[in-house]
Chain A
Amino acid sequence: MNAWLIAPVALPLFAAILSLALRTRVRFQRIVSVCANAAALSIALALFNAVRTDGVLVLQLGSWPAPFGITFVADLFSAIMLVLSGLMGLAVAVYGLATMDEARERHGYHMLFHVLMMGVNGAFLTGDLFNLYVWFEVMLMASFVLLSLGGERAQLEGAIKYVALNFLSSALFLAGVGILYGISGTLNMADLSQVLAQPAHQGIINMISMLFLVAFGIKAALFPLFFWLPASYHTPPHPVSAIFAGLLTKVGVYALIRVFTLVFRQDVAFTHQIILILAAFTMVTGVLGAAAQMDIRRILSFHIVSQIGYMVMGLGLFTELALAGSVFYIMHHIIVKTNLFLVAGVVQRLAGSNELKKIGGVYRAAPWLAVLFLVPALSLAGIPPLSGFFAKLTLIVDALRGGSWAMAAVALSVGLLTLFSMTKIWNEVFWKPAPEGKPTLPLAAIPVRERIALLLPIIVLATCTVCIGLGSGWMFDLARQTAEQLLDPRDYVTAVLGVTEAP
């Protein structure tokens, strides 16, 4: 199974090349898109299964032994992220069949989508810090073009801010990699974990870790580095913002968790305390940002920021339970968030807008869509027994057990404010009658084939949310095992380097 580790990167690359070759044949591009994403999901599931049964998988690219070449590693955390990215890729690819305009498809939408997935998967799999940088660049370029493709004024305005702040992140990341290589002589994360494990020179290691914290913090949209996200996510077509919302910031969170559990773990009392404080501010500022918005996607965008705070909170608390909470939160959040953006797209289709003031009556016109909105929306707000509740519960139980009263209070009250935002959407979009003379269309007004393409992904993702909630026992065990691996990286290091030096 080890050799298959390259597949999540190679497959989208081939699909991208194929899409490029089929540039004018939009129909074939669509088929390629759905097939490639379905295949990616299957491979991800197979890898996940292999990791669960056989432990950490490793592929030394070019067969160069570990710290010298590039290593691909799949531990449970990576494997889970791969499955999630596969699922989101497929869901959005199917959804895109009914929403993307041909002009964008002709000009490379599908190609860019594949490249984006390649970058995302690469970031989840690589065990090499510079290689991670490369995947970030791949993601950044693909997402920038996707964001601006179509050239609408709002899109370009958002895209400029997006790319400027993300380039800054890249620069800091690169500086961090360079300096870290300078003191440690290696780029392999498992190797770094060993080299940095010595007690000396903690000061410079902490300073370097701050470069990574800010670089990844920008990617993850932490406070006060999140500006690019609310500036841009509401501008592109819905499938694009859905895949961005689901995956991009989570790659940042993934990188934060990876680096701050594997590489920078010597001075937890300092580094992780800073992370914890940033997490608290991220939660609060994000949710307040959402309370001030009156557009579905803008509300949802600010909620991404706020939810990132929860995921990072687990890292900041740095116990096994808290990390399990983070992992659970990521699993829950990616599905729910993508789904909400997908629902927003259907609302746009039926009511003609995403602005709360201009629309209404969706509950009356499309009651099933209302149900499909409620599942992810309530899950996001942490209403039991949906997935989000258990993610929050885990974090709050841990915070209260460890005496982090302020964090628990923040996590709880941000949950209430999230509920407030979700009910705002529900009130204005679903319950409120449609404005005079602008009736909301029923679902039946969408042609059958498009309706299936739109609703099927939403239904599947909503089902996942319910199942994660009801099967939270199983999911929690998985998250717990993942957290165990993260907290004790010996398996990871041994798998990559073959043998471990004595600590």
Chain B
Amino acid sequence: MNEPAHSLATSLPVLLIAAGGGFAVAALIPWLRWLLGERSTLAAALFPLAITAWLAAQAPAVFGGQPVAFRLPWISDLGLDLALRLDGLGLLFGLLIAGIGTLVVLYTRGYLHGHPDQHRFVMFTLMFMSSMLGVVFSENVLLLFIFWELTSFTSYLMIGFHHDQEASRKAALQALLVTGAGGLFLLAGLIMAGHAAGSFDLSGIIAGRDQVLASPLFPWILGLILIGAFTKSAQVPFHFWLPNAMQAPTPASAYLHSSTMVKAGVYLLARLHPAFGSSELWQLVVTGFGAATLLTGALMASGQVYLKRLLAYTTVGALGAMVMGLGIGTDAALKAVAAFLLAHAAYKAALFLVAGIIDHETGEKNVTKLGGLIQVMPRTGTAALVAAASMAGLPFTFGFIGKELFYTELAARPLLAAGFFIAGACFMLVAWQTGIRPFFATRTETPKHPHEAPWSMTFGPLLLGLVSLTLGIVPGLADGLAGAAASAMRGHPLEVHLHLWHGLNLPLLLSALTLAVGAAMIATASGWRSVAEALAPAARFGPDRLYDAKLKGLVAFAGWQTRFLQNGSLRRYLLVTVITLCALVVVSFARADMALAFRALSPVNLPMALLSVLVILSAIAATLSTSRLGAVAAMGVVGFSVAVFFIFFGAPDLAMTQLVVETLSVVLLVSAFYYLPPFAKRSTWRGRARDLTVSVFAGAVVTLLVLVASGVQLRDPISSYYAETSVPMGHGRNIVNVILVDYRGLDTLGEITVLAVAGLGSLALLKLRAKAGGKP
């Protein structure tokens, strides 16, 4: 890091404020609302505006190759640092995020006018914006992931804004799960890349790219990262969540689903291009998926009739184009990506905002039922016209420049050029349907009587239209920004010079042809729609249905598994627990390959043998008994016999205790019989046989344990100490007593407590139940 020192000092707070401050400002909004009412939304717009201005002010330094950086240690042992860095790529994205963010917040003021939750939407927007800025400013990949997840979650809140509707909740969940799942793959990939490169800094990974590329894990690393990027940027086959996410309020769609969040995946690929772009695997996979997405999005768009879905599918296509460019990865391709990114953000955000206005004012979402709106909404119509022209790639708009650059690169790759060509024609059709037809076709009746939208709503599309137009006419204005971004994607400085006129050449010809084919498609639009409608049932095999099926399958499997494991039967639980124990002990016994140490056993005399037989017989009798009394009597015999064992081994005090306990238990049990329901045999013979097998096995395992253990004495037991110190220090001749009340007095205290609680607890249970009459 040889960043200039001055930038550290001056920019220190601002990058951090941009990347985290949205959360703080969002927390203030409820209070602002209390003070200012709906005007709080306008106040909130100052935050993104200030960031935009600050970013613009950094432009000269960044263009000059002096990135702004900031670093604070966070969890250095894990490789996670709060490391932020603003370079050309970050600046391009940052300006889009903060700039469009300002317009979107402003737009919300009109769009959600009178909505009780307007302030909440603004809060979510600001939180999202900060997260998104964090993604593009992160220098540390773990930090990048943190912000990445935050964009997933904040966008979840925005998509589900109309949470009363089930469709909104479902779409929000789908977007969260798809991008969340992608996020997990991404995290694994980033960590593995970091381990391979020896650094979790982006610059460190780029510097250590040779190790990463040479790592045998590289295909995994790349695959994991790509899944993360592809889910976020709605690449085939993960594209389905994006059109569904159109349930979101339109400002959210304009912001998240056209210009910012969905480009996070593109951003990540651009960011990692200097590290991995040279690998053949990257070029093959990224180009392939990008091209497939471009075609899928464009073709699916041409069959839609609803404004936002039309735009959503073309967004999918456009993202595919950018990914494809990053896959190709030549200088020219990267320049094209940089220019196209800017062009797309400007026109697509504008068109979404316009779509929101149309929906808001007319109550109609179907483009075939709209027309003549230019008469009542001239400002909106103008903005829409410019944006549509840029989308169609007409000259004198920035969209034209972006398209030309792509054709320049693709001229040598006929297959990809053909794909781009088809997509370009489809885009033109959609541009006509969303930006021109509603305004210039014959006037129709709509559910609501339309008016021109307020300035807060039209300002954004107009400004974006102005950007498209200005940069279309004087493209050189974007040289610095596009050049700095392309340099960051390349890894070393690239000069970009954008021109309106490249001379009469193949790209221009292709552009013109696209326009012609597009115009033909427009003329036959209704035909395209019927083709699309005919194909609609094929969606059953699409990934959207697959997602539904998977989710259902997961829940069904979870239910089955849980009913199987947690079936409510205590007997089953005990059985599983005992079997687990036996299995684990047997496995460890088998592993050790030990000999049983029988020689350590003490001699057995006749009385003891007889006693053992008695114990075993009474234990069997207890299980076979058909009456409670019989079972208790048999258990009593077991207990008293054990007491006799204690006497044999010279522990009369233990034997006494045992006798008392046994006597009391028998007395208590017999006296409790009166209250118990009649004795019933609940188990089948099969169940009993199974239980018998398991019990015998468990008994055998414990016997095995004791036998093995009896042959091992690792050290003399501590009991000799008790014998020595009991009298002089414990002042007691009965060692057991001294152990109970002195050496280990705390144990006794604990056990006394247990007994007290047991007694008091039984009392409480009986009384509380009696009082409540059996009910709670």
Any A CB within 8 A of the CB of B547: no
User: A384-B145, A393-B142 are contacts. A185–B718 as well, Cβ < 8 Å?
Assistant: yes
* B195 and A401 form a contact (CB under 8 A): yes
* A150 and B768 form a contact (CB under 8 A): yes
Q: Which residues of A contact B562 (CB under 8 A)?
A: 288-289, 292-293, 302
Nearest residue, chain B, Cβ from A140: B754
The distance in angstroms between the C-alpha atoms of A202 and B180, with both chains bound, is 45
Q: In the complex, which of the residues B76, B708, B718, B776 has the most CB atoms of chain A within 10 Å of its own CB atom?
A: B718
List CB contacts (< 8 Å) of B137-186 with chain A: 142, 145-146, 149-150, 153, 156, 160, 163-164, 166, 169, 173, 176-177, 180-181, 184
Q: Which residues of A contact B719 (CB under 8 A)?
A: 185
List CB contacts (< 8 Å) of A135-149 with chain B: 135, 137-138, 141-142, 144-145, 148-149
Binds A, one of B408-416, B483-491, B743-751: B743-751
List CB contacts (< 8 Å) of B737-772 with chain A: 742-747, 749-751, 753-754, 757-758, 760-761, 764-765, 767-769, 771-772
Nearest residue, chain B, Cβ from A64: B743
Any A CB within 8 A of the CB of B624: no
Q: Which residues of A contact B742 (CB under 8 A)?
A: 62, 64
Any B CB within 8 A of the CB of A198: yes
The distance in angstroms between the C-alpha atoms of A340 and B109, with both chains bound, is 35
Q: Which residues of B contact A135 (CB under 8 A)?
A: 750
The distance in angstroms between the C-alpha atoms of A167 and B376, with both chains bound, is 79
Any A CB within 8 A of the CB of B554: yes
The distance in angstroms between the C-alpha atoms of A195 and B769, with both chains bound, is 51
Any A CB within 8 A of the CB of B589: yes
* B743 and A432 form a contact (CB under 8 A): no
* A184 and B715 form a contact (CB under 8 A): yes
Any B CB within 8 A of the CB of A423: yes
* A416 and B180 form a contact (CB under 8 A): yes
User: A225-B580, A288-B561, A476-B78 are contacts. A384–B146 as well, Cβ < 8 Å?
Assistant: yes
* B713 and A183 form a contact (CB under 8 A): yes
Name the interface size band of chain A.
Answer: 35 or more
* A227 and B576 form a contact (CB under 8 A): yes
* B757 and A112 form a contact (CB under 8 A): yes
Any A CB within 8 A of the CB of B280: no
* B149 and A383 form a contact (CB under 8 A): yes
* B760 and A206 form a contact (CB under 8 A): no
User: A20-B760, A149-B768, A289-B565 are contacts. A423–B78 as well, Cβ < 8 Å?
Assistant: no
Residue in contact with B714 in the complex, picked from A185, A214, A390, CB distance below 8 Å: A185
* A431 and B160 form a contact (CB under 8 A): yes
Binds B, one of A31-39, A174-182, A445-453: A174-182
Nearest residue, chain A, Cβ from B551: A420
* B573 and A228 form a contact (CB under 8 A): yes
Residue in contact with A473 in the complex, picked from B75, B709, B745, B746, CB distance below 8 Å: B75
Any A CB within 8 A of the CB of B581: yes
Any B CB within 8 A of the CB of A28: no
Q: Which residues of A contact B191 (CB under 8 A)?
A: 396-397, 400
List CB contacts (< 8 Å) of B688-708 with chain A: 702, 705-706, 708
Mark contacts of B387-425 with chain A using CB atoms, 8 A cut-off: 1 yes-contact digit, 0 otherwise.
000000000000000000000000000000000000000
Residue in contact with A160 in the complex, picked from B187, B188, B566, B570, CB distance below 8 Å: B570
A101 nearest CB across to chain B (Å):
9
Any B CB within 8 A of the CB of A3: no
Binds A, one of B591-599, B615-623, B678-686: B591-599
* B721 and A210 form a contact (CB under 8 A): no
Q: Which residues of B contact A64 (CB under 8 A)?
A: 742-743
Any A CB within 8 A of the CB of B555: yes
* A427 and B715 form a contact (CB under 8 A): no
Any A CB within 8 A of the CB of B455: no
The distance in angstroms between the C-alpha atoms of A131 and B75, with both chains bound, is 38
Residue in contact with B747 in the complex, picked from A131, A290, A291, A401, CB distance below 8 Å: A131
Q: Which residues of B contact A104 (CB under 8 A)?
A: 768
Q: Which residues of B contact A152 (CB under 8 A)?
A: 775-776
Q: Which residues of A contact B577 (CB under 8 A)?
A: 165, 168, 214, 218, 224-225, 227
Residue in contact with A13 in the complex, picked from B578, B588, B717, B753, CB distance below 8 Å: B753
* A211 and B746 form a contact (CB under 8 A): no
Any A CB within 8 A of the CB of B568: yes
A173 nearest CB across to chain B (Å):
12
Residue in contact with A195 in the complex, picked from B156, B576, B715, CB distance below 8 Å: B715
Q: In the complex, which of the residues A164, A186, A397, A412 has the most CB atoms of chain B within 10 Å of its own CB atom?
A: A397
The distance in angstroms between the C-alpha atoms of A409 and B765, with both chains bound, is 47
Q: Which residues of B contact A354 (CB under 8 A)?
A: none
Q: Which residues of B contact A137 (CB under 8 A)?
A: 750-751, 754
* B589 and A144 form a contact (CB under 8 A): no
User: A134-B750, A179-B705, A397-B191 are contacts. A186–B776 as well, Cβ < 8 Å?
Assistant: no
B665 nearest CB across to chain A (Å):
15
Residue in contact with A210 in the complex, picked from B160, B570, B588, B776, CB distance below 8 Å: B588
The distance in angstroms between the C-alpha atoms of A118 and B746, with both chains bound, is 12
Any A CB within 8 A of the CB of B384: no
Q: In the complex, which of the residues B568, B746, B760 has the most CB atoms of chain A within 10 Å of its own CB atom?
A: B746
* B764 and A412 form a contact (CB under 8 A): no
Any B CB within 8 A of the CB of A339: no
Q: Which residues of B contact A384 (CB under 8 A)?
A: 145-146, 149-150
* B169 and A431 form a contact (CB under 8 A): yes
Residue in contact with B558 in the complex, picked from A292, A367, A400, A416, CB distance below 8 Å: A292
* B591 and A206 form a contact (CB under 8 A): yes
Q: With A104-B768, A137-B750, A227-B576 given, can you name 12 additional A-B contacts, CB distance below 8 Å?
A: A145-B765, A165-B577, A184-B715, A185-B716, A187-B718, A201-B714, A270-B588, A288-B561, A288-B562, A292-B562, A390-B75, A480-B77
Q: Can you pick out 5 interface pairs between chain A and chain B where the beta carbons lie within 8 Å of each other?
A: A70-B744, A182-B709, A209-B588, A210-B584, A397-B79
**Closest 9 CB pairs between A and B?**
A203-B592, A185-B717, A145-B761, A134-B750, A431-B163, A291-B558, A151-B769, A107-B764, A384-B146
